[in-house]
Amino acid sequence: MAIKGRKANKNPPILSHEFVIQNHADIVSCVAMVFVLGLMFQATAPLASVFIAVQHNATDMETTETPMTYTYGNKDLAAVFFYSLISIVMHAIIQPPLLDKVNRRLHLSKTKHSKFNESGQLLIFTAVSAAWGINILVKDNLVSDITSLWADYPVGHAQMSFMLKFFFIIQMSYWIHCYPELYFQKTKREDMPDRIQHATLYLVFCAAAYVLNFTHVGLVLLTLRFIEEAVLHACRLLYFAEKTNIANTGFRVWNVLFVVCRLASIIVAILTFHYGLAINEDQTLDISSGNFNTPPIRLNALVAVCLIQAWMMWNFIHFHLRQMRERQALAQVTRKRVTERKSKRNKKDDSKRYSEEEVNELPEVDQQTRKRK
């Protein structure tokens, strides 16, 4: 028998699913702390630095005037793993004090609650990534000269600046962390396919641009996408917060920005893969030097970018057509209700009028008797 007055133990069993979900941030942070502590000891510092520091330095140490440049290699997998753990921890840090606090004030339903959390997380990440991408484009002089997207390939593209390489490592780490978050956030089965598709497309795109040394054009395309997506998630948060007027204005801005970014992405891809890299003299596959500028690879890259833009544009048009049909159906229902109310009112008015006319047509004696009654 349970003792009265004593609360039941709500703590789940150790290593159960509920225990892992509730304490996943603490567990993952402890694993990440092992790598950080490894830097403090001389025996483990070289191994720990592989996970934390950016590897594959390609800088010529004899000439100190040249900036630090990096290439990619197998050790980058360790960095992607470590920063995936950091992404999980950051996700858990942002969720309770910021998003959950706003959720409790808004009193959202379960469906809107999950969408609000998703848009809140993506707004922070896309806004930071867009600002970071613009900063790299300006610092590496990729904005002032559009020919830098294909000029000096592959040497100038295989050797990346620290910020450019770290940007792509963080991108791949973040989209990898989205898969375990489906389990940690108890995502519904019907919501999983869309989120998996979203994360997979980003991960494949970032990994392909990183491995094939198309980081310059990849950075431009990602920055365009993040600018547009940050505006979308900001408008969605305003809509969930019932700021409908501001949200509707923001959605109109996003509609224009979405189309402009899709067209700009297609133009950049055509200029880079069809025109810029095509005039390069060396078009032979050489993995050791990082040269992937061959006609089949360029064609596949161009087709992949254009297909993704066309697919997003198709979803955009389909979404607006569906909304238009829903608005028309709602307008028809409201018109029906208005006409039904008007007809009911007219019937009542007619019945009153007819009753008054019948009373007036009665003889005076009957009218007097009715009055007396």
Which mean pLDDT values do the consecutive 10-residue runs of the chain (373 residues) have?
Answer: 48 81 89 93 92 87 72 94 95 81 77 84 94 94 86 88 94 95 89 93 96 94 96 92 89 95 95 90 85 92 95 94 87 80 67 55 50 48
Helix (H) or strand (E) holding 213, with range, is none
Query: Does 48 reside within a domain?
Result: no
Q: Residue 219 contacts by C-beta under 8 Å, 6 or more apart in sequence?
A: 133, 136, 137, 142, 164, 167, 209
Q: What is the pLDDT of residue 358?
A: 53
CA distances from 153 to 136, 210, 273, 296, 346 (A): 18, 14, 12, 17, 79
Q: What is the pLDDT of residue 360?
A: 56
* Residue among 142, 144, 202, 167 at smallest CA distance from 70: 167
Beta strands (DSSP E) in 93-213 are 160-161
Query: Does 28 reside within a domain?
Result: no
At 145 the three-state DSSP class reads coil
Query: Does 320 reside within a domain?
Result: yes
Tokens of 60: 């010529």
Q: Residue 259 contacts by C-beta under 8 Å, 6 or more apart in sequence?
A: 313, 316
Q: Residue 148 contacts by C-beta under 8 Å, 6 or more apart in sequence?
A: 140, 141, 142, 156, 216
Domain that holds residue 172: 54-328
Paired strand residues for 291: 286
Q: What is the pLDDT of residue 59?
A: 79
Query: Does 292 reside within a domain?
Result: yes
Q: What is the pLDDT of residue 355?
A: 56
Q: What is the pLDDT of residue 306?
A: 95
Query: What's the structural domain count of the chain?
Result: 1
Query: Does 3 reside within a domain?
Result: no
Query: Does 46 reside within a domain?
Result: no
Q: What is the pLDDT of residue 8?
A: 46
Q: What is the pLDDT of residue 242?
A: 83
Tokens of 304: 């992949």
Query: Does 257 reside within a domain?
Result: yes
Query: Does 337 reside within a domain?
Result: no
Q: What is the pLDDT of residue 221?
A: 96
Q: What is the pLDDT of residue 195?
A: 92
Q: Residue 290 contacts by C-beta under 8 Å, 6 or more apart in sequence?
A: 71, 154, 157, 158, 213
Q: Position of tokens 């998003």?
A: 99
